[in-house]
């Protein structure tokens, strides 16, 4: 393994065309829109965060400089796909790390994205170092949706961009009240698709009152070992185990098998996940 290093300016300039090309490929393949993922500690998010972005050139330092990479990709993508092809951005409401990307930063960047004509802004939060978007006990509020309380902050900064919140929605009643209250324009759902791919039809028919999700059962143990542990490491492992369990269901669907609702143990789930990831990594290395 190589030690990570900072990208050179030329390397950064070469990266944005790759994202633009991906958007063009998606458009030509028949997709009806693209999302530029800029949350959860991925590359765009790393540029935005002062923790991971410690550059002193035009790509680092001030928030304007840290946002330059994302805004450049958005601008070039819009130019490439045209004004009528939807371009969405997924943005952290906060990194939930001291000295990281804050909700004030998110509001400012949201305003800049509005100026560049994005069609939808999705709000999430956290990184894989602080898994607020995975940890059901780390949510900023006791409400069903993890990041809903940031909606008003973002809405005030970018009032003309349709707003989407993803994370934690589990009951049709709460989703309907959230939309009716005008907090958001779109609700994002992910995990329920992994175990009940046909659930939108059941929702529309009024036959589903709560979305299936077993993540609370997938944990190392109870008490100190569970989701409410005082240990951030244990909470992170339990959250990662829940995510790994949903990965299993995606693989089952890809293999033509039905998802199963047996949560199993966190250790078993994580063990199978890492074994599968290791095998896939070896195959990729062999094929390159």
Separation between Cα atoms, residue 140 and residue 125, nearest integer Å: 10
Q: Are 133 and 40 in contact (CB under 8 A)?
A: yes
Catalytic residue among 42, 128, 146, 150: 42
Name residue, tokens 């800029």. Answer: 38
Establish whether 42 is a catalytic residue: yes
Q: Render the burial of 150-174: b for 16+ CB within 10 Å, e for the rest.
A: bbebbbebbeebebbbbbbbbebeb
Q: Are 246 and 270 in contact (CB under 8 A)?
A: no
What string of H, E and C letters represents the secondary structure of 40-86? ECCHHHHHHCCCCCCCCCCCCCCHHHHCHHHHHHHHHHHHHHCCCCC
> Which residues is 36 bridged to in the sheet?
89
Q: What are phi and psi of 122, to 5 degrees?
A: -100, 130
Question: Dihedral angle at the C-alpha atoms of 190, 195, 201, 206, nearest 10 degrees?
Answer: -100
| Nearest Cα residue to 186 out of 35, 31, 73 | 35
Three-point CA angle 168, 148, 231, nearest 5°: 60
Separation between Cα atoms, residue 195 and residue 246, nearest integer Å: 8
Q: 103-115 vs 68-81: helix axis angle to the nearest 10?
A: 30
Q: Are 34 and 81 in contact (CB under 8 A)?
A: yes
Q: Which residues are catalytic?
A: 42
């Amino acid at each position: 393994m190589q030690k990570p290093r900072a990208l050179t300016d030329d390397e950064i300039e070469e990266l944005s065309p790759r994202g633009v090309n991906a958007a063009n490929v998606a458009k030509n393949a028949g997709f009806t829109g693209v999302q530029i993922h800029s949350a959860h500690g991925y590359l765009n998010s790393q540029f935005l965060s002062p923790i991971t972005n410690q550059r002193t050139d035009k790509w680092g330092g001030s928030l304007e400089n840290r946002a330059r990479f994302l805004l450049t990709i958005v601008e070039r993508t819009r130019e490439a796909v045209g004004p009528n092809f939807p371009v969405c951005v997924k943005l952290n409401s906060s990194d939930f790390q001291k000295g990281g990307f804050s909700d004030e930063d998110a509001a400012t960047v949201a305003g800049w994205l509005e100026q560049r004509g994005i069609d939808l802004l999705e709000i999430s939060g956290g990184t894989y170092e602080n898994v607020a978007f995975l940890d059901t006990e780390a949510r900023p509020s006791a409400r069903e949706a993890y990041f809903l309380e940031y909606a008003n902050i973002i809405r005030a900064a970018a009032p003309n961009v349709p707003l989407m919140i993803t994370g934690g929605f589990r009951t049709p009643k709460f989703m309907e009240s959230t939309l009716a209250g005008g907090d958001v324009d779109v609700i994002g759902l992910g995990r329920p698709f992994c175990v009940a791919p046909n659930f939108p039809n059941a929702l529309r028919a009024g036959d589903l009152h709560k979305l299936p999700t077993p993540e609370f059962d997938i944990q190392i143990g109870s008490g100190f070992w569970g989701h409410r542990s005082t240990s951030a490491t244990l909470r992170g492992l339990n959250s990662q185990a829940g995510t790994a369990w949903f990965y299993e269901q995606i693989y089952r669907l890809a293999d033509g098998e039905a998802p199963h609702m047996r949560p199993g143990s966190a250790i078993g789930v994580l063990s199978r996940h890492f074994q599968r990831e290791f095998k896939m990594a070896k195959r990729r290395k062999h094929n390159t």
